[in-house]
Amino acid sequence: MPDVDFLEFGPFINPLKQAAARYKSQPGQAGLAAILEQATELSQAWDQRGEDGTAFACRLEQGRESARRGSELRPEQVGLLFGIAEQIGEESYKDEYMLMELVQAAAVACAPLQMRNEGSLRLAIAAKRFTRWDRARYGYADLVEGMQIMARLFQVDLQQYAQVEDKYRQRWEQVRAQTGDARALFDADGRQTREADWTHMVEWGSDCGSNQGLIAQIDATLRLAIRQEHARDLKGETIAPTVEHMLAQWEAAIAQDETKRLEILRFMATVGDAAIEIGEWHLGASVFGRLLRHARDANHPITLHAVAQKALCHLMQGELPACHGQLQAYPRAQVELLSGSIATVAGEFARLLAVEHACRGSLGETTEGDIRERLRAPLRTVRLIASPEPTSRTEYLRALYVAVLFRDIEATLARC
């Protein structure tokens, strides 16, 4: 048999390293290159993970948190990373998956909802290819939540969205059949796991960029409500004990570190709003009552929001004296002045006026003047922050906040 000359290949070069080196030298792409370098480190950590994988799980969570909090990506860079991950997947499912974990986390921080949805879908697909079934479930669940938010609050083709959502639910069902996983998409394994899942959802979903108040919480609120509704209506579970444990943990954190007070008030407002979203009025009143015990600034939008929401909960339970008393006890002169210049104060002041009008109507009293005329100025102020076609995370959160606020006010006024 004749001798055959074989080509000599050089050492294997990780495609993530190649991509990182390429973009590191390009102006304005430092954040993108950093994500690629972190994905390279994650890939190496996987190879060195050991038998139980605990160290890798911690490293993955740290990487995702860094991508969410530390990356300075723009939405167009997230889109570019989608394409890079797809190309890398042609060589390595592992590296595609590692990269998509970080890209999806970065999308949570900087991208509008539709781009986050795409990132979650790509993560689910990459995780399936690499047989990381738990992470595929996470990706599909995040995607379906996002689609439900779009369908509930924005103008979309509802029939088309329902069909697409069902398609992705079925993809998880196929994974369940393949792996023997007993959990449906939004299931949790018992109260302790559910508490951890919901706490992580609130804290992870709270915006950590320029938004530091109610706007920062609106996406997390709706996602938590979807999970709570699933637990209550489809699993027949009582959600109050889980919420109680979440609140207790956060209250303990305030006692240990005063600097966390505002952040934790945001988390508590998220839980209270999610309860109201699914009609858990007694639970909502309890949550906002506890929030108000920890509030320090009566003029802060979160305090104003808590007063209005607690009063609404009393109203919806027919507790009219409690509703009236809650509203009358609140000193509103300063927030009325601020409502002309601060969007969230304007929005929450309008919410307060709507609840007060409904309460007066239920008590057989009348509101001085035309309520819609009184609402016109504050709602005009808050409407200014909403973009009709959000192109960033901040624009998406503002649009979502305004959509939910206007929906809530209309629903409150409809009681009269």
- Express each pLDDT in 162-194 by its tens digit: 999 999 999 999 999 999 988 889 998 767 789
Taking each continuous run of H as one helix and of E as one strand, the counts in the chain are 19, 0
Residue 10 confidence class, pLDDT cut points 50, 70, 90: very low
Residue ranges per domain, the chain? 13-46+56-180
What pTM was computed for the model? 0.92
CB 98 within 8 A of CB 39: yes
Residue 7 pLDDT greater than 80, yes or no: no
Residue 3 pLDDT greater than 60, yes or no: no
What pLDDT does 276 receive?
Answer: 98
| 238 phi/psi in degrees, rounded to 5 | -90, 125
CB 123 within 8 A of CB 104: yes
Residue 211 confidence class, pLDDT cut points 50, 70, 90: low
Residue among 43, 36, 81, 35 nearest 59 (CA):
43
Residue 51 confidence class, pLDDT cut points 50, 70, 90: confident
Least confident span in 39-53, 110-124, 276-290, 320-334 = 39-53
Q: What is the DSSP letter of 197?
A: H
- Separation in Å, CA 238 to CA 116, 242, 243, 279, 332: 30, 8, 10, 13, 36
> 402-415: per-residue pLDDT in tens?
999 999 999 999 98
Residues 46, 57: Cα–Cα separation, whole Å: 9
Residue 213 confidence class, pLDDT cut points 50, 70, 90: confident
Return mean pLDDT, the chain.
92
> 355-384: per-residue pLDDT in tens?
999 999 999 987 777 999 999 999 999 999
- Give the CA angle between residues 306, 311, 316 to the nearest 5°: 125
What pLDDT does 9 receive?
Answer: 47
CATH class of 13-46+56-180: mainly alpha
